[in-house]
Every structure is written in C-alpha cells, then in structure tokens.
C-alpha cells in the first residue's frame, strides 16, 4: 500500500512544475497540468490547465491555460480559456484573452484585453498537430 501511495504522489508531482522562490527558468514547457511560479520564468507554455503566479512570481512570455491565478506579475501574451483571477497586488500586462475574469481590489491589468467569443479560443501558440 505504501508503494502505491508513493507512486500516485509521484504521478501528481510529474504533472506539476514549480519554479521556487529565488529560482529562474527560461525555455519552452511542452505541457503541464499545473505551473506554480514563485520565482522568475521566461517561457512559452502552449498547453496547461492551471497557472498560479505567487506574490514573488514573475512570468514573461506566452502562456495558454484553462485557468490562471495571478498574485504576482505576468508580462506577455496570455490566453485563459476559462477563468483569469487577478488577486490584490497581481498585475497582468500584454495581450490578454480570457473566458471569464475577476480582478480583486488592488489587482491591475493593462494592454490589449479581449473576452473570448467561445470557451476554446484558437491560440497561435498551440501546435498545429494538436
């Protein structure tokens, strides 16, 4: 039983990418279920379910996700198919497309912002084979 629980725990870990505080990452991320940014990341993320940017987190680049929870900073192109939540102290700037948006008092958004006409907007970041 302990081995099965450990295997399940590792499965969950394999689908979650964490860029911890004080760390930086630059590159392409093929896909992940959940990305947690506590440090700094410059990346292209064409397919993800949940992006969470902590108070100390900074994401620069392109991301396409189902849901985004921003407490830190996002700069670039962001496509959120479902819900974009910008928390107090969070800031999103660049080209932003969203299905649903919530901005807490103290949160900010700037740039080109548009609501998606459907729940699955086409993104230039998605691979042609998808």
Residue 13 in 3-state DSSP?
A: helix
Nearest to 62 by CA among 44, 35, 85: 44
Structure token digits, residue 111: 């740039």
More confident residue, 73 or 6: 73
pLDDT at 88: 96
Asked if pLDDT for residue 70 goes beyond 50, the answer is: yes
CB atoms within 10 A of CB 20: 13
Strand partners, 50: 34, 67
**Whole-structure pTM value:** 0.79
Asked if pLDDT for residue 14 goes beyond 80, the answer is: no
- What mean pLDDT is predicted for residues 65-78? 97
> What tens digit of pLDDT does each residue of 78-117 get?
999 999 999 999 999 999 999 999 999 999 999 999 998 7
Domain ranges of the chain: 12-115
Structure token digits, residue 46: 């064409």
CB atoms within 10 A of CB 99: 19
């Amino acid at each position: 039983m302990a081995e099965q629980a450990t295997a399940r725990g590792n499965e969950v870990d394999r689908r979650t990418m964490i860029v911890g505080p004080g760390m930086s990452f630059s590159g392409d991320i093929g896909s992940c279920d959940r990305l947690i940014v506590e440090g700094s990341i410059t990346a292209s993320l064409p397919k993800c379910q949940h992006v969470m940017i902590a108070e100390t987190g900074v994401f620069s680049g392109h991301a396409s996700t189902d849901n985004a929870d921003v407490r830190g900073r996002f700069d670039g192109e962001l496509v959120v198919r479902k819900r974009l939540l910008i928390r107090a102290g969070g800031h999103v700037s660049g080209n932003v497309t969203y299905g649903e948006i919530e901005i807490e008092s103290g949160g900010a958004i700037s740039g080109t912002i548009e609501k998606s006409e459907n729940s699955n907007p086409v993104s230039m970041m998605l691979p042609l084979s998808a």
